[in-house]
Structure 1
Amino acid sequence: MGKNAEAVLRDLVQPWNVAIHSTAGLAGSVSAVSDADDEERRGKNQELLRRKPGLHAVPVGDRGQSIELTPWKLLHTLGRANVLARQGAGRGLAEHWASLKYCQALNGNHGSFMALSDEGRNPIRHYKAVQSGELGIGFALAVAQEVLGRRYPDHSVSVIDAEIALRAGWTLTGKDHATHRASKRPHFFLEVWKPGAPSKVVLVACKGTHGKPAQVHAQLSTAAVHVEAVHIGRPDETPAMVFGTEIPGTDPITLHVLEATGNGTLRLPTGAAEDDLDSPPEDRAVVPGIDLAWGAGEKPRVVSGYHVRPEDHGWFRRILAHADAAGLTAFTGGGEPTARYLSKRQGKRHFEQYTHAGTGIVQDIAYSVHGVDFVGTDHVFRLNGTRVEAFSGIAKDLFKDLAAGRVGEYRQGAHTLRGEWSDEQWDAKWNGPVSLNQDGSVLAIRVLR
């Protein structure tokens, strides 16, 4: 018999360390896998894969030897990342709540390090490939945000689904322009921003496995292909991070990470202000392809991928900000507010068709967490036979700006408040785990009485 629900909820806020492996040796092992793949392809007269060059270790000062993380914070990170996933099929909110299936999958082992629990190792409960892929996203984004937060302490960091953002400019599937489309693309864009300043974009590819380190090396080699598919500004100057999460049966979970440094800056147009972010997003018909000779005055050398050139920086920055806003409003359960931040190709009509009372004048549900009023939506399910309530939302004052289309004002407010959210992950008044993000979102759970 499993633990009672209250014991499970207490476990969700237990902090554990997640080991981080990022060394020159790891970079060498991944490079060796890539070289072997190139050699095999040459022998078969196949085209070589383009991979992000210059992958190297992340300095210890930027990431530490480990990161302390609670399972509940991990699930909040995963839920925020997945809330727009598969939105074309109208499944975004379902993907968001799907993160809750891992409520009992993680625990501590070997002292203070996080590992799979007995529940997490149960093949009946968790299909391994899905588990490693989804948990890999949560771990990767938690570490990526930690690294960028250390590097840019006066900036905010937003996680944006790369597929959603790219759809606004490029046709990613079908027959048109198929020659220069890239089938492997980054999974996420991390936008490092602060009001009134240019944004910096970091490409992220996340992988996960229950296998041995050799499999992680192969996954990181493939991840290098994903992050090579998008270039911002001058070719080969876009920063990227690739992650491989090793989730063994009983040993501690280890996150393997490499990065490529670069510029990745989206320049503000002359005289632009944050209010420029409020204009509705529009689809553009950008032809796929990256000219590796662009800006060098040489003969064009076009390869597959997606190139954000300087003349498109202002538009792409707005697309990222609106996709970020769409993820936040979808996290509250709202269809109508989410639709306003997406273009037709990004799936606007699917969210127009999905609505509930919380998207109108009266919000669906409002709760106070750590003394702050939040609005959002809830989900009730059984945890070991006990009914529990999960709540996801955003601070009421920030939601007002998003509901009214004021992206610039939301960002001003969120950036100002980012250091004021409580780190305490148990709210006695709520009587359960709570996780507050710097973006103003909350994920909370409690036994339903």
Structure 2
Amino acid sequence: MIRGEMMGKNAAAVLRDLVQPWNVAIHSTSGLAGSVAEVSDADDKERRGKSQELLRRKPGLRAVPMGDRGQSIELTPWTLLHTLGRANVLARQGAGRGLAEHWASLKYCQALNGNHGRFMTLSDEGRNPIRHYKAVQSGELGIGFALAVAQEVLRQRYPDHSVSVIDAEIALRAGWTLTGKEDSTHRAPKRPHFFLEVWKPGAPSKVVLIACKGTHGKPAQVHAQLSTAAVHVEAVHLGGPDGTPAMVFGTEIPGKDPITLHLLEAAGDGTLLLPAGAGEVDLDIPPDDRAVVPGIDLEWGTGDEPRMVSGYHVRPEDHGWFRRVLAHADAAGLMAFSGGGEPTARYLSKRQGKRHFEQYTHAGTGIVQDIAYSVHGVKFVGTDHVFRLNGTRVEAFSGIARDLFKDLAAGRVEEYRQGAHALREKWSDEQWDAKWNGPVSLNRDGSVLAIRVLG
């Protein structure tokens, strides 16, 4: 929530600033990979000296080729907040009820600005959070920057595919118990933060593991964070032990200097191929909850004796099931973003937090829209939130294109994906809608985030 008593720009000026594009520097070099490797080696040496178990890290971290990411990416603060809201909407359901996490991204409405060199920086407001809030700020903004860049990299590589962001915790809970004492021998406490699913109708999905960190500190702190992020992405294997691609991000958010995103990746194919003779995967069928024992067999597929380590292994015989898990978790995030409790719950199992979304609903759960607005001439259905921005009442709206919403509300995941994929290049890039009279962000998944002064 934005503090109403704050003095500063009027609300109309703040909203104009939200659609100002700025550059965000991207640092991904062999030198960065070397610095992270040095930090990892030093940690291993210290652990050996204390007779502690060494951490397993994703091997082979390297720079992302320049052609896939450029030296910088152009972003508006509003695009960043849309990305963050979509990513967090299913997070921590027990405390935040999911949807509250989505609206929490609005607290950064005045946190970002730019310098004379056209690079994004923290604003005066962003540089003065209360002390305990700085770690939250760097962590959450780090998620937004990382996912915005990761999606752009994958779209460059796979231009005929769509890219979905899926909360890894939600997806993994469909198969594994992640907390508690039961089956804890090979449970990995550090896990990827997100799965990026690269997909198109009629083809097997590719999956990339994502770990994202953020800091207000110096580059040395980023190197340490990337070393830890390598532990997170080593916790999940798809198929063979060396076949899972991953990206690790460390967002450096200094006081007045430009924000810089540090990025490394590990190679791999990540395709969820089906075993020979397996039928087609019907994404409309809800995936069943499974009770898979944690553990990764590093010798899997070699014919040697099993060598089990901590983590979560999705084997080829489970690839069809996991594709349905990812598609349904993606659908749940979209429906939660639109404010629908019952439609969200239908895409989650009990272990994934279904009951938290059954406890609140809106009229749109029966395809009777709660709130519908047109943005750039397209009808969207969703939910709104009214709050005060520097004393002025403003309205934020989040939703999904009406036809895509109807498909998801009816459980038609296949039809939603076909429709969203066909429309992915047709959404307007213009971030100010004169009729709406405020900032709008249209995502290729069919979601919208919009804000305006009320009345």
Task: Please give the range of the TM-score, normalised by the shorter of the 2 chains.
Answer: over 0.9
2:188 matches 1:182:
yes
- Please state how far the C-alpha of 1:125 moved relative to its aligned partner: 8.9
CA spacing shift, 1:53–1:59, aligned 2, 3 Å = same
Aligned to 1:197: 203
1:119 to 121, 125, 128: 125
Cα deviation code 1:360-407 (max 9, x no counterpart): 242110000000000000000000000000000000000000000000
- Please state how far the C-alpha of 1:126 moved relative to its aligned partner: 7.9
Task: Say if 1:90 and 1:350, in contact at 8 Å, map to a contact too.
Answer: no
Aligned to 1:14: 20
Aligned to 1:424: 430
Task: Say if 2:247 and 2:266, in contact at 8 Å, map to a contact too.
Answer: yes
Aligned positions of 1:162-241 closer than 5 A:
162-241=168-247
Query: Partners in 1 of 2:351 and 2:116 — Cα distance?
Result: 48
Query: Partners in 2 of 1:415 and 1:44 — Cα distance?
Result: 52
Cα deviation code 1:152-192 (max 9, x no counterpart): 00000000000000000000011111110000000000000
Query: Partners in 2 of 1:433 and 1:421 — Cα distance?
Result: 15
Aligned to 1:377: 383
- The RMSD of aligned alpha carbons is 1.1
Cα deviation code 1:18-47 (max 9, x no counterpart): 000000000000000000000000000000
Cα deviation code 1:48-93 (max 9, x no counterpart): 0000000000000000000000000000000000000002345210
Query: Partners in 1 of 2:105 and 2:385 — Cα distance?
Result: 12
1:179 match: secondary structure: coil
- Please state how far the C-alpha of 1:353 moved relative to its aligned partner: 1.1
- Please state how far the C-alpha of 1:355 moved relative to its aligned partner: 1.0
TM-score, normalisation: structure 1: 0.98
1:88 to 67, 91, 94: 94
2:86 matches 1:68:
no
1:34 match: secondary structure: helix
1:165 match: secondary structure: helix
Task: Say if 1:197 and 1:268, in contact at 8 Å, map to a contact too.
Answer: no
Task: Say if 1:90 and 1:351, in contact at 8 Å, map to a contact too.
Answer: no
Aligned amino acid, residue 28 of structure 1 = G
2:140 to 124, 134, 137: 134
Cα deviation code 1:198-249 (max 9, x no counterpart): 1000000000000000000000000000000000000121000000000000
2:283 match: secondary structure: helix
Query: Partners in 2 of 1:319 and 1:231 — Cα distance?
Result: 16
2:301 matches 1:304:
no
2:35 to 22, 29, 38: 29
Task: Say if 2:121 and 2:258, in contact at 8 Å, map to a contact too.
Answer: yes
Task: Say if 1:19 and 1:252, in contact at 8 Å, map to a contact too.
Answer: yes
- Percent identity between the aligned chains? 89
2:46 matches 1:40:
yes
CA spacing shift, 1:57–1:28, aligned 2, 3 Å = same
CA spacing shift, 1:435–1:272, aligned 2, 3 Å = farther
Aligned positions of 1:262-301 closer than 5 A:
262-268=268-274, 270=277, 272-273=279-280, 276-301=282-307
2:408 matches 1:402:
yes
2:160 matches 1:154:
yes
Aligned to 2:4: none
1:357 to 353, 363, 385: 363
Query: Partners in 2 of 1:382 and 1:419 — Cα distance?
Result: 34
Aligned to 2:420: 414
CA spacing shift, 1:126–1:19, aligned 2, 3 Å = farther
1:378 match: secondary structure: strand
Query: Partners in 2 of 1:90 and 1:36 — Cα distance?
Result: 38
- Please state how far the C-alpha of 1:281 moved relative to its aligned partner: 2.3
TM-score, normalisation: structure 2: 0.97
Query: Partners in 2 of 1:295 and 1:437 — Cα distance?
Result: 40
Aligned to 1:108: 114
Aligned to 1:58: 64
Query: Partners in 2 of 1:59 and 1:350 — Cα distance?
Result: 42
Deviates more, 1:355-364 or 1:377-386: 355-364
Which runs of no fewer than 5 residues in structure 1 stay unpaired? Answer: none
2:353 matches 1:347:
yes
1:265 match: secondary structure: coil
Query: Partners in 1 of 2:423 and 2:377 — Cα distance?
Result: 14
Aligned amino acid, residue 144 of structure 1 = A
Query: Partners in 2 of 1:445 and 1:3 — Cα distance?
Result: 16
Cα deviation code 1:115-160 (max 9, x no counterpart): 0000001123981100000000000000000000000000000000
Task: Say if 1:120 and 1:126, in contact at 8 Å, map to a contact too.
Answer: no
Query: Partners in 2 of 1:110 and 1:286 — Cα distance?
Result: 54
1:4 to 6, 10, 29: 10
Query: Partners in 1 of 2:96 and 2:262 — Cα distance?
Result: 33
Aligned to 1:338: 344
Task: Say if 1:78 and 1:134, in contact at 8 Å, map to a contact too.
Answer: yes
1:298 match: secondary structure: coil
Query: Partners in 2 of 1:328 and 1:272 — Cα distance?
Result: 28
Task: Say if 1:106 and 1:116, in contact at 8 Å, map to a contact too.
Answer: yes
